[in-house]
Amino acid sequence: MNKKIRILIAKPGLDGHDRGAKIVARALRDAGMEVIYTGLHQTPEMIVSAAIQEDVDGIGLSVLSGAHLTHFSKVIELMKKKGINDRLLFGGGIIPPEDVEKLNRMGVGKIFSTGTKTDDIVKYLHKIIKIDYE
């Protein structure tokens, strides 16, 4: 049996718009990945804890609230503290280009802007996350 890529999709903070996150989660699932969607209003602590419990290969944050620098930096800090900073952290939402560069320098993988084709996200994850098949 082949091991599947496991991705956690999370909505940090008070942002209540999750349609995009659900669309991405469904697209990843339809592409054969195992997807854990944590739901709305997650704290960085909840996100990292779920990532550990679910033993995911990557964490995707969806941020539309403008608090992306705060949320990503806290998740990165907790990932390092908990020893899972070898996992991919990526995201999407409404994030200005100058902040995308800041996030990349912090260690965040690709940031997908609104309107990105879900196939592009799937291809990126397959390219970055290498799974050893049993």
- The pLDDT of residue 15: 85
- The pLDDT of residue 3: 86
Task: Determine the 3-state secondary structure of 31 from DSSP.
Answer: coil
Q: Going residue by residue through the chain, which has 134 residues, state the pLDDT in tens, using 9 for 90 and above.
A: 568 999 999 999 988 889 999 999 999 999 999 999 999 999 999 999 999 999 999 999 999 989 999 999 999 999 999 999 999 999 999 999 999 999 999 999 999 998 999 999 999 999 999 876 54
Q: For the chain, which domains are there?
A: 6-128 (3.40.50.280)
Cα angle: 122, vertex 125, 130; to 5 degrees: 135
Cα angle: 4, vertex 129, 66; to 5 degrees: 105
10, exposed or middle or buried, with CB in 10 Å at 0-12, 13-18, 19+?
buried
- The pLDDT of residue 134: 45
Q: Do residues 17 and 89 lie in contact, with contact meaning Cβ atoms separated by under 8 Å?
A: no
Residue 25 CB contacts under 8 Å (≥ 6 apart), including other chains: 9, 35, 37
Nearest to 5 by CA among 83, 87, 61, 86: 87
The pTM of the full predicted model, rounded to 2 decimals, is: 0.94
> Based on C-alpha coordinates, what's the Rg of the chain?
14
